[in-house]
Amino acid sequence: MTDRIRLIQGDITTLDADAIVNAANNELIPGGGVCGAIFRAAGPALKEACKQVGYCATGHAVLTSGGNLRARYVIHAVGPVWEGGQNKEEQLLAGAYRNSLKLASVHQLQSVVFPNISTGIYGYPKEQAARVAIRTVQEFLEQHEFPRQVIFCCFDEENLNIYRTQLGL
């Protein structure tokens, strides 16, 4: 594991980073899980910023201000709904991570924090999602200076252990 990748357990909405990533829906509206928590913590400014953007395709990402969060920005990444793995879910999930990292690189962000995209209500198998996330982040960091640090933030012990195992920690 590169020294540019960290793993923590906690509440992504409380972290001090240049950007946190929201596991967003296409309409960029408050949802459940991490998405709902980010919108609640960020306040009305985030909802308004997302309204201005309007839409984000699955596998892509957009950047907004962080509202009341400690993070300056929120990168809204839309992961796929799991449909058994036959509908390009892996490519779409990798795209959500890669496009988030591209935004971080373009804006020369020092630190970006990712949740476990698509593993909640979207039903993506957690072990497979972690493999895609880790591989995509590692490949991106090998070729880009920014972000300088990527943090995987797992809310629960189950995801933390999956990432810990796959990162060899």
The answer to whether 73 and 66 are in contact (CB under 8 A) is yes
Note the pLDDT of residue 166: 96
- In Å, how far are 26, 63, 65 from 44, measured between CA atoms? 19, 16, 11
Please write the tens of the pLDDT for every residue from 97-155: 999 999 999 999 999 999 999 999 999 999 999 999 999 999 999 999 999 999 999 99
Query: 153: domain CATH number?
Result: 3.40.220.10
Which domain, by its residues, includes 161? Answer: 5-167
**Residue-averaged pLDDT of the chain:** 97
Which residues, at least 6 apart from 35, have a Cβ–Cβ distance to it below 8 Å?
22, 23, 24, 25
Note the pLDDT of residue 63: 98
Tell me the mean pLDDT in the region 9-23.
Answer: 97
Band (pLDDT 50/70/90 cuts) for residue 89 is: very high
Q: What is the pTM of this model?
A: 0.97
Domain total of the chain: 1
Band (pLDDT 50/70/90 cuts) for residue 82 is: very high
Residue of 14, 6, 17 whose CA lies nearest to 107: 17
Which residues, at least 6 apart from 89, have a Cβ–Cβ distance to it below 8 Å?
80, 81, 82, 83, 118, 124
Note the pLDDT of residue 83: 97
The answer on pLDDT for 168 being more than 70 is yes
Residue of 60, 121, 113, 126 whose CA lies nearest to 91: 60
Percentage of the chain with pLDDT > 70?
Answer: 99
